[in-house]
Structure 1
C-alpha cells in the first residue's frame, strides 16, 4: 500500500482528537511531522513523528506530502498559503477561512500549483446527517417545504479561547464555528440558496463574539431552511426537522464520535468503531401510496470519520473525487459572509 506522509500544523484538541488517531490507524498514512511550539505531547502515542517548533520549520524541513492546517481560524489563510507555496496539498479545518476572499485566493493558488485543498467537514460523516440523507433519498416526504437544522449547546460561561470568543477577532464566534457545519449540511442536502436573512449576536453580551445565530435561507419553489444555534439550550431539540407535502422527519443529533474520541476511543480502519444506539433516534411520519399514515421510529447507522481520510487517500492514490474540496466550500463562506452582512444591516441579502 502506498504510504502518504502527513504533517499536523498543531497538536491541540483538533490534532489530538480529529486527525492524529485516524492518521495512525489508517494503513495508508504516516503522521511524520507535527508542530508543538513548546511541548512534546505527541511523543507518547506517536513516537515516530518528528516534532517541529513552528509551521515554517515543518514545511521547510519535513518531506510531507499533505499538511493539515488545524490552527485557529485566524491563521488558516497564512499557513495554508505557506503550505501551498511549499508544494504541499492541504487539509484545512473548518471554517475554511475568516472570509470568502481568503478562501478564493487559496483555491486559485492550489489550482495554479496543481495541488489540492480539502476542508475538514467531518459532520458529513455523522450518523444523524447520513440518516437525513437516507430519508430524503427514499422520497417518502414528497416535496420538501420547510427544514430546520440546529446545533445547540449549554455553555453559558466563557471558555477563555480568544480566537473563538474575542469579538474583535475576525472569524471568531458561533457562526464561523458551528455555522460552518450547518451551512455545509444545508448546501449538501438542498443546494445553494437564492437569498438569506440572518440574526447574529452574543447572548453573553457585547464583550464576546456571537454565540447565537438564526439564518433563514430562501430557495426556489417556496422552500425555506432555517439554521439555528444557541449556547443557552439546556434541553435538547431535534437537530433536523424536515417537513414535506407527504410527511415529516425528525432526527436527533445522536452522533457520538467526538465524545468517544475525547474519552480515548481508538478508531478502527475498515469498520465502524462507535457504540451502537440503545434506542431509536428519529421519527418518520408520512402518507404512504394508499394515503395511509405510517409513523416509524427510526435508528441511524453508525457514522465514521475514518471515511473522510479514506476518501483523501483514494483521491491521492487513485484519483477518486476529493471530499469537501475547497472550491466547493467557498460557497459556504459566501453564506457566512452574507449572514454577517444581513445581521449588521438588518435586511435580506441576495446570493445570486
Structure 2
C-alpha cells in the first residue's frame, strides 16, 4: 500500500519537517502540497517535482479521493478547522503541534476522527530528538537514581520580532513562544514524569512590538513528586543547557539543540549520512556525587520514526505514534499556565 499524502502549508512545518520525512519513508508518497504563495509553490516544484501544487484547501477537498492522508502544517489557529474538513472528507490526518489553540477544539477534532473511523495523530517530533532519546534510555536504566528535578530549555537570540505568523499572532490565536515551544517541552516532561498536579508560569514580553510572550518559564509539579522547570525564550544571548536532570545518584547535562531541523534547512535529507548527528561529536555528561563525570554518547535524532510508526498504524492497525489525547492534555496545561501566569512587559 502506498499512502498518498497531501501536506497543507509549506512554511517551516511543511518544508523543513513533513515533506522531507514523507518522501523518506518508503510507504508514503508526497502527492500534493497546498500553498497559495507563488514563491512557495515554486519551491515545491523545485524540491518535490512529483508533488502536485494546489492553491487552496478547497481544491484538496474536491480531490479527496486521490489522497489517503492529510498533514496540517498551516498556522496554529487553522489546525482544528482544517483537520475537521479533512476528517469530514474521510481522510486520515496528522496535525503539526499544537493540535489546536484550545483543548476544547482539540477534543472536537479527536471526537470527529473517532466518529469517522479515521486515523488521527499529532506531530510531537521532539519525542525523537537524539538528546531526549538518550535521556529517556538513561532514566529507564535508573542511572540517575530517583529524579528530583527536570530542567529543560529551548532558547535562542532573536531580539527583533520576525514576520512569521506565529510571531505576529496574539496568544488567543496560538501566537507567542508558549504556544510555539510549550507543546514540545511540556510533552517531553509529561512523557518522562507523568501527570501534573500544579502549574506555575511567567509569561513575559521583551521585544518591542511583540503581541505575545517571547520569554517564558513554566514550572510543573508532577504527581510523582518530580519538579519540571521549563524555559523558552527568543531573547537569550546564551542558552542554558538543553537538559539538566538531577537525581539522587547523578546529574545529566546536555548542551545544544537537536540538529535535525538545521540539517533539513541546510539541504540534508533524513536518509543522508550524518543526518541527526552533531558534527562536532559532542556527548552529554553525567556528573556523579564523588565530583567525577562521565560522557554519555548521544543517540542520533530520528524524527523519521514518527512516520515509520504512522505507516504501521495506517497499514497494519498498530497504535498511532502520538495518541491525540496526549497533546490535548498538554493544551490543558498550557491553558492553566496562561490563566495563572505572571506577566512582565518590557
Q: TM-score, normalised by structure 1?
A: 0.91
Asked if 1:150 corresponds to 2:153, the answer is: yes
Contact 1:35–1:58 (Cα < 8 Å) also in 2? yes
Contact 2:153–2:242 (Cα < 8 Å) also in 1? yes
Query: Distance in 2 between the 1:38 and 1:225 partners?
Result: 40
Match of 2:332 in 1: 334
Query: Distance in 1 between the 2:3 and 2:223 partners?
Result: 43
Query: Distance in 2 between the 1:345 and 1:44 partners?
Result: 45
For 1:287-302, what aligned pairs fall within 5 Å after superposition?
294-302=292-300
Contact 2:5–2:70 (Cα < 8 Å) also in 1? yes
Among 73, 88, 93, the alignment partner of 2:91 is: 88
Which deviates the most, 147-156 or 292-301? 292-301
Query: Distance in 2 between the 1:214 and 1:126 partners?
Result: 21
Which deviates the most, 234-243 or 217-226? 217-226
Match of 2:70 in 1: 67
Asked if 1:29 corresponds to 2:31, the answer is: no
User: CA deviation digits over 1:190-239, x for unaligned, max 9?
Assistant: 11211111111211157421101111111235321111112221112211
Name the SS for the 1:246 alignment partner.
coil
Contact 1:66–1:89 (Cα < 8 Å) also in 2? yes
Contact 1:173–1:210 (Cα < 8 Å) also in 2? yes
Name the SS for the 1:151 alignment partner.
strand
User: CA deviation digits over 1:65-90, x for unaligned, max 9?
Assistant: 11000000011111011011111111
Match of 1:131 in 2: 134
Query: Distance in 1 between the 2:195 and 2:277 partners?
Result: 34
Among 244, 264, 269, the alignment partner of 2:267 is: 264
Match of 1:285 in 2: 287
Match of 1:223 in 2: 226
- The change in CA–CA distance for 1:207 and 1:141 in structure 2 (over 3 A counts) is closer
Name the SS for the 1:178 alignment partner.
helix
Name the SS for the 2:231 alignment partner.
strand
Asked if 1:6 corresponds to 2:9, the answer is: no
Match of 2:315 in 1: 317
For 1:124-273, what aligned pairs fall within 5 Å after superposition?
124-167=127-170, 169-205=172-208, 207-268=210-271, 273=275
Contact 1:163–1:169 (Cα < 8 Å) also in 2? no
Which deviates the most, 169-178 or 220-229? 220-229
Query: Distance in 1 between the 2:323 and 2:147 partners?
Result: 27
Asked if 1:303 corresponds to 2:297, the answer is: no
Name the SS for the 2:301 alignment partner.
coil
Matched residues, number = 340
User: CA deviation digits over 1:135-185, x for unaligned, max 9?
Assistant: 111212111111111111111011022443333652100000011110110
Asked if 1:106 corresponds to 2:109, the answer is: yes
- The change in CA–CA distance for 1:168 and 1:14 in structure 2 (over 3 A counts) is closer
Name the SS for the 1:198 alignment partner.
strand
Contact 1:140–1:286 (Cα < 8 Å) also in 2? no
Contact 1:74–1:163 (Cα < 8 Å) also in 2? no
Give the superposition deviation at 1:320: 1.6
Aligned CA-pair RMSD: 2.0
Name the SS for the 1:103 alignment partner.
helix
Give the superposition deviation at 1:275: 4.2
Query: Distance in 1 between the 2:165 and 2:270 partners?
Result: 31
Unmatched runs of 5 consecutive residues or more in structure 1 = 347-352
Query: Distance in 2 between the 1:44 and 1:73 partners?
Result: 26
Query: Distance in 1 between the 2:176 and 2:225 partners?
Result: 30
Give the superposition deviation at 1:38: 4.2
- The change in CA–CA distance for 1:221 and 1:315 in structure 2 (over 3 A counts) is closer
